[in-house]
Structure 1
Amino acid sequence: MTSPVVQFSLPQTVVVTGASSGLGHELCRLLLQNGVATVGVDVAGAQENLSSHAAYTHIAGDVGAQATWDKVVDHLRTENASSLGLVTSAAILDVCDVTEVTADILARAMHVNITGTVLAMKSLVPLMVEKKNGAIVAVASVNATLAEQQLAIYNATKAAVRQLARTVAVDHARDGVRTNVLSPGPMLAGLFKRHLESATDSKQFLATRSARQPEGRILEAAEVAQSAMFLLSSGATALRGAEIVADGGLTTSFDYRTGAEGASV
């Protein structure tokens, strides 16, 4: 017996930043599986499982450079899709205390995490307004609200992304553009793996972080990508400036008791 299925429509074309790794890559893969023409933007080249797909276009470039977005806009105007989506998942993370921050670390984080997101919206919102049909998913983080040690600059940039998206949501609410925020927790993907690799004992770090999760595991990037798919879809038309926290329940409680601490569970 088959299970009941609910179906929502997706934009005809979706642009995804950070398409060559982690959340961005998994989202591109899901979009293509569902028949969406997908434009990946990343400073790195396309992964083979994306580039081999006829509906995938890769634009290699710096998300923080206007020239990259000019190429994206030129492609979208040629394609002339009836509806557009944008997911800004490109981000970088440096693990350090604020006293260790260099000008280069600060400039790089601002350039990719904030400037890259601003330029993406600046470039694509006008196209969405023309079509009166656009959906934007700004990828922030649970770190936009809850501080995590040694990630001061990353946390600050993600807080900025969230407020940027919420403002764009109200600025263009009557233009047919839906803007919402996706805030993931740790994922078994690029940024968390980088933090994991920086630990003195990576195995212990992973075990400790997994134990904090109500399910006892770190989410896969593909699971979080499904939340992005929902925000892009017609199922999310009631949402404007909303935030979906896709963290497996990590931030639902101030502390998750496993029983190991001797507490009654």
Structure 2
Amino acid sequence: MSKRLEGKVAIITGGGRGIGLGITQRFAEEGARIAIVQRNAPPPSILNERTVFIQADLTLPDEIARAVDRTVERFGGLDILVNNAGIMFEKTVEEMSEADWDQMMTVNLKAPFLLTKRAVPLMRSRGGGSLINIGSIEGIGSNPGHPAYSASKAGIHGFTAAVAVDHGRDGIRCNAIAPGWINSDLSEIYLESMPDSARIRRELLAMHPAGRLGEPRDIGNLAVWLASDESTFATGQVFVMDGGRTKKLPLPIG
């Protein structure tokens, strides 16, 4: 059976941990050649001739451009861009400084814009490509203390639609994935920091009709489909992957 991404070249920002690692692992299994672009080195076990690490600070435009150029030099082109890297902090509007807001927008919104801007002509030259942005269910709703994060992810969703409209004529598709709760080292640290983590885990699980929490591989599976030729009629969409969480209405019981 042929691999769905055989012959494709992909950049995955933040591809060395969490959701990004799940995407990297699935892309590798499906035959893609991958450049992991992020600030810190990923686990050595995932690196080989077909999966390489390109160090870049995604707050710096020159480093973004260099990372894309190095990917093309290494693999000969670019077919897939996954804008996954992002940051999150909990501060209300009153608590947040202007510098806090700017940092969130620089990493979560400006970096995907600059990467996409660099990627579009490269994809056009190869007859098309797939842009995949990692949004969030917090681009649709919000948790307390997340005005900047929610704004950045809502921006990603809108950006996705606009890029799809502008560049469909180039054979370039652009879609977003909006994950819900996905298990990771960071989410585990967050849960363990709660005073009653066992109760929080039970309540969190009860929020999901799927009967479990998400795994990075779940997002990777969807990303493979969006990157492959199986999804050539899908563009401009935000695919919510949250185990049904946002469809479950709460009841005032308890």
Query: TM-score, with normalisation over the residues of structure 1?
Result: 0.87
- State the partner residue of 1:14: 10
Given the superposition, is the C-alpha separation of residues 251 and 11 from structure 1 closer, same or farther in structure 2, using an over 3 Å criterion?
A: farther
Choose from 168, 173, 179 the match for 1:173. Answer: 168
Residues of 2 paired with 1:153 and 1:198: CA distance?
A: 23
How far 1:80 sits from its partner (Å)? 5.3
C-alpha contact (below 8 Å) 1:11/1:232 kept by paired residues: no
Letter in structure 2 aligned against 1:115: K
How far 1:110 sits from its partner (Å)? 1.1
| SS of match in other structure, 1:251 | helix
Choose from 24, 28, 44 the match for 1:32. Answer: 28
Alignment of 1:121-160 (within 5 A): 121-160=116-155
C-alpha contact (below 8 Å) 1:64/1:119 kept by paired residues: no
- State the partner residue of 1:76: 71
Query: TM-score, with normalisation over the residues of structure 2?
Result: 0.91
Residues of 2 paired with 1:45 and 1:123: CA distance?
A: 23
How far 1:150 sits from its partner (Å)? 1.8
How far 1:78 sits from its partner (Å)? 2.0
- State the partner residue of 1:227: 222
Alignment of 1:1-265 (within 5 A): 8-9=4-5, 12-51=8-47, 53-79=48-74, 81=76, 84-189=79-184, 192-193=187-188, 195-196=190-191, 199-255=194-250, 261=253
C-alpha contact (below 8 Å) 2:68/2:115 kept by paired residues: no
Residues of 2 paired with 1:175 and 1:221: CA distance?
A: 31
Residues of 2 paired with 1:251 and 1:92: CA distance?
A: 22
- Kindly provide the CA deviation profile for residues 92-118 of structure 1, in whole angstroms up to 9, marking residues without a partner as x: 110232222123322221111011111
Given the superposition, is the C-alpha separation of residues 198 and 241 from structure 1 closer, same or farther in structure 2, using an over 3 Å criterion?
A: farther
Residues of 1 paired with 2:158 and 2:214: CA distance?
A: 25
Instruction: State, as a whole percentage, how many aligned pairs show the same letter.
Output: 26
- Kindly provide the CA deviation profile for residues 58-103 of structure 1, in whole angstroms up to 9, marking residues without a partner as x: 1111123222222223223324546510111101110232222123
How far 1:209 sits from its partner (Å)? 1.4
CA RMSD of the aligned region, Å?
A: 2.3
Given the superposition, is the C-alpha separation of residues 11 and 22 from structure 1 closer, same or farther in structure 2, using an over 3 Å criterion?
A: farther
* Aligned residues between the structures: 254
Unaligned runs of 5+ in 1: none
Unaligned runs of 5+ in 2: none
Residues of 2 paired with 1:150 and 1:58: CA distance?
A: 34
C-alpha contact (below 8 Å) 1:11/1:85 kept by paired residues: no
Residues of 2 paired with 1:14 and 1:44: CA distance?
A: 19
